[in-house]
A and B are shown apart, each in its own frame.
Chain A
Amino acid sequence: MPSRTATIASSVGLHARPAALFVKQANESGLDVQVARPGEEAVDATSILGVMTLGAKHGEQVEITAEGKGAEQVLDALVTLLETDLDAQG
């Protein structure tokens, strides 16, 4: 399954606002997208509860995986999102 590693750029981590934006984009892909700390159990990246429970912090690495058509592009876009400081955009 295609996967990417991203470093969380948001200064507050994947908290409410950045988490919501990440989940929105994962949902819009229409694919089965999962996110995890490397080597740990993955959570559903299309669930805000899942992503907030994961609670990835600023500077932490996460692995995202996606299954289905266009998965590579979806992952590239999600990596770009995670590696942007979403909180800086207000």
Chain B
Amino acid sequence: MSEVLAPCAGRVLPITECVDEVFAGQLVGPGLVIEPPDGIQTVVAPIAGAVMKIHPHAFVVVGEGAGVLVHLGINTVRLEGAGFEVHTTQGSTVSVGDPIISWDPATLPSEAAGQAISRQVPVVVLDAPADSLDLSDLPADVVPGASLFALP
């Protein structure tokens, strides 16, 4: 069974505690939230596969029969790429742990275009039913590359 590894360091929270209600309601998919610490850091691929979509603030890797979305912060689309450095291109093949995007959560503004910005990083399995992951054994804190959960 394939595993999803932590794309970044931080405190692990249930997806239901995401400040974005669409993520919290698992409308994007089941998963979890990582709250990263301050400091420049590089977010890495949580699974091996193809980079199906890359934005400065979010990416999707498709592999192992699943698509995993990593979203760097909430409402960060409003920053239009400022503060994010992208290390890959759409369509590239990546190995688990490959660098994807660098950022520093400490530099995020509190809001952009009238929307509150959060540093929360949802890690979500796309098109999987709500509550379909076994998240019973989650660590409280992770380092990049730590095991998070198995793909359904």
Contact = CB atoms under 8 A, between A and B. Distances in A.
A26 interface: no
Interface stretch (B55-63, B98-106, B132-140): B55-63
B143 interface: no
A16 B60 CA distance: 11
B116 to A, nearest CB: 9
Contacts of A60: none
Contacts of B127: 47-49
Interface in A40-63: 47-49, 52-53, 55
A15 B23 CA distance: 12
Contact of B69 (A16, A24, A87, A90): A16
Given A15-B77, A16-B58, A48-B127, A53 B52 contact: yes
Interface residue tally on B, bucketed by range: 20 to 34
A29 B35 CA distance: 35
Nearest to B78: A12
Contacts of B69: 16, 52
A67 B69 CA distance: 29
B108 interface: no
A53 B50 CA distance: 12
A37 interface: no
B121 to A, nearest CB: 12
Nearest to A19: B28
A48 B29 contact: yes
Given A12-B77, A16-B69, A21 B27 contact: yes
A90 B71 CA distance: 17
Given A17-B20, A20-B22, A20-B27, A52 B77 contact: no
5 nearest interchain CB pairs?
Answer: A20-B27, A49-B67, A49-B126, A12-B77, A17-B22
Interface of A: 11-12, 15-17, 19-21, 23-24, 47-49, 52-53, 55, 87, 90
